[in-house]
Amino acid sequence: MPVLSFPIPLKLGLIGYPLEHSLSPAIHQAALLARGIPGEYQLYPIPPLPEGAEMLDKLLNRLRRSEIHGLNVTIPHKQAVLDRLDDLTRDARLIGAANTLYARGSQIIGHNTDGLGFRLDLHTLGCSSSTAGDALVLGAGGSACAVVSILLSDGWRVTLASRRLEQASQLAARYRAINKSRQEQILPAHLQVIELKPAPLALYLSQRDAPRQPLLVVNTTPVGMAPHVDDSPWPAEIPLPEGAYIYDLVYNPAETRLVRAARQAGLLAANGLGMLVQQAALSFERWTGQDAPLQMMVEAATAALACGSRK
């Protein structure tokens, strides 16, 4: 990781839309305070392209001129921003999205901390490459790209379940192309696509090669996020797999309908707040070259969430 010399005060921020309930300012202000770095973390709400194109270009030019020193990127710009950058790190290139931007001279570099943030949080919950087995990923959007990349790299047998089958197939084809070019060591033979509907899910669960081996289920969709707290991405007609571990990237509410159902069935389940903080910590370290105060960031995120915030 490059140790960056940074100006004082350090000016950071988040690009996305909408942003009014973001936890990121609380998380990063806590980190700056803990490390004694004068600075600020602002929100830059930019509508989806093409409406927000001019606003996005102006903001990126401020980063290029060192008027801003680091930016996070969230929905809907993680992939849209790529064509406007000068270079990408390996993680951003593999995932196909950037959530962390910084300047190197007059060039803007795109990085991605979502994948590693997911891996780090998954490890704290007892799931790692040493326990890799079957993983069922719900959704095929930007968050799924980061999750699938990490799971494949760690040796999981991944099944991508999406209501938009074409989008899921495109994601799978992308990883097959990367593997064919031999740029990365991933295992596309362990990646298949099914439709996120009751019948295909039931068939998948009945045909697993190792049905007695625990299954990791990761929800990467926004289904169940406040205010739609009564929704779940998992079809009501299909019981959750026995012994499965449920990881829901949604963290507001802290206990989604999916997580609640898993716990009621006696399954281990977690929300995505840990991943949120882990990816934020990695961005902070990329910008400052200093270790992130992880515990203080967790406390800040928890407090902000308790006040009704969400990213």
- The H or E element that residue 111 is part of is strand 107-111
pLDDT digits (tens, 9 = 90+) for 47-91: 999 999 999 999 999 999 999 999 999 989 998 999 999 999 999
Q: How many CB atoms within 10 Å of residue 184?
A: 14
Cα separation of 116 and 135, whole Å?
17
- How far are the Cα atoms of 159, 193, 238, 244 from residue 197, in angstroms, in the given order? 14, 12, 10, 19
Percent of the chain with pLDDT over 90: 70
Domains of the chain plus CATH, in order, are 10-112 (3.40.50.10860), 116-273 (3.40.50.720)
Token pair recorded at residue 203? 């068939």
Residue ranges in 160-224 assigned as alpha helix (H): 165-180, 198-206
Asked if pLDDT for residue 227 goes beyond 90, the answer is: no
124-153: pLDDT as tens digits: 877 876 677 899 999 998 889 999 999 988
- The model carries a pTM of 0.89
- 188-208: per-residue pLDDT in tens? 458 899 999 999 999 999 988
Whether 78 is catalytic is yes
Catalytic residue (one of 58, 78, 180, 311): 78
pLDDT value of residue 199? 96
